[in-house]
Amino acid sequence: MTATHMTQDATGPAPTVGFVGLGAMGRAMAGRLLRSGHAVRVWNRSPEPVAELVAQGAERAADLAAALRCDVVVSMLADDRAVNLLLDPGLLAGARPGLVHVNMATVSVELAQRATAVHTHHGLGYVAAPVLGRPPVAEAGQLTVLAAGAPELLDRVEPLLTVLGRRVWRLGDEPYLASAHKLAANYLIACAIGAMAEAAALVDAVGGEPADLIGVVTDSVLPGPVHTGYGTMIAERRYEPAGFRAVLGLKDVNLALTAGAEANVPLPLGGVLRDALLDAVAHGEGDHDWAVLAEVARRRAALD
């Protein structure tokens, strides 16, 4: 199937939006929806992000069930375990009839398949729409949104997605396809970071300047935000504040390896990346940006 992209259609009334999960990305996305004029009801385990969004005009959800009594609920949670909170049968039974759940987090293919079945059983809609981009990109509404689900459900949530993203790709009628695409995209990013980390260590070991290497390749053969952004962090050995934590990178590489194993697709670079990210976590660097793979490469080369 060839991916297509959506164009914004502002016709029809704006839905009330429940928003679950207010980490850095969730806060940026919920704020973007508020600024675009949407009514947003927010829920989060910790109260501080909720208070921040309420000050911007959001409604505080009394509990998780209240967030699901909206037209649409958007979730931006950390992992499969957190998303499982939204799959509780009792919770879904009390959701607003016709609710569409838009899961914008990076989760496993298996969870996406299970979530689709559970929502369908309760007469609810499920759309997977994970994103590419960091919080500042989300604040600007410039995310790349990878969306999959029943066409009529995608049509319903299109106005929300186009507020959040510069481009929204339709990747199929089954939500798990969007999850698979996002895992593959994050796998590619991890490979790029790992390769730059090792190349920078090589240049450093022979007496060169990693910053010069990054400058050369991003000005010529490898332009673009991944190599420029992460390359700069590697050259400067600057991994905080983290745009994407190493522990989450480890989670996504593991999910990609699992998806590959289930589809009989070898991902040999994934094993190397998994071990490097495990090394970072074992050295207390799990909350650093996953560009900290550069420190793993330096340790292996005995540069420090």
Which token pair is 112?
A: 């996406």
The residue type of 130 is P
| Structural domain spans, the chain | 7-173, 180-300
pLDDT tens digits for range 44-84: 999 999 999 999 999 999 999 999 999 999 999 999 999 99
pLDDT tens digits for range 276-285: 999 999 999 9
Q: What is the pLDDT of residue 14?
A: 63
* CATH number belonging to the domain at 180-300, selected among 1.10.1040.10, 1.10.287.610, 1.10.1740.10, 3.30.230.10: 1.10.1040.10
Cα–Cα distance for residue pair 156/11, rounded to 1 Å = 11
Residues facing 146 on adjacent strands: 169
Q: What is the pLDDT of residue 13?
A: 56
211: pLDDT strictly greater than 60: yes
Q: What is the pLDDT of residue 15?
A: 77
User: If DSSP codes are grouped into helix, strand and coil, which group holds residue 282?
Assistant: helix
> Among candidates 100, 86, 19, 82, which has minimal Cα distance to 56?
19
Residue 90, exposed/middle/buried by CB under 10 A (0-12, 13-18, 19+)?
A: exposed
Assigned superfamily of 7-173: NAD(P)-binding Rossmann-like Domain (3.40.50.720)
117: pLDDT strictly greater than 60: yes
5: pLDDT strictly greater than 80: no
270: pLDDT strictly greater than 80: yes
Q: What is the pLDDT of residue 304?
A: 85
Which strand (E) or helix (H) includes residue 145? strand 143-147
Cα–Cα distance for residue pair 227/216, rounded to 1 Å = 11
Q: What is the pLDDT of residue 54?
A: 98
Cα–Cα distance for residue pair 72/159, rounded to 1 Å = 12
Which token pair is 178?
A: 């969007």
Residues with a catalytic annotation lie at 182
First and final CA of the chain: distance in angstroms?
A: 49
pLDDT tens digits for range 141-185: 999 999 999 999 999 999 999 999 999 999 999 999 999 999 999
Q: What is the pLDDT of residue 53?
A: 98
> What average pLDDT does range 13-18 have in this prediction?
81
* DSSP assignment letter at 31: H
8: pLDDT strictly greater than 70: no
User: If DSSP codes are grouped into helix, strand and coil, which group holds residue 32?
Assistant: helix
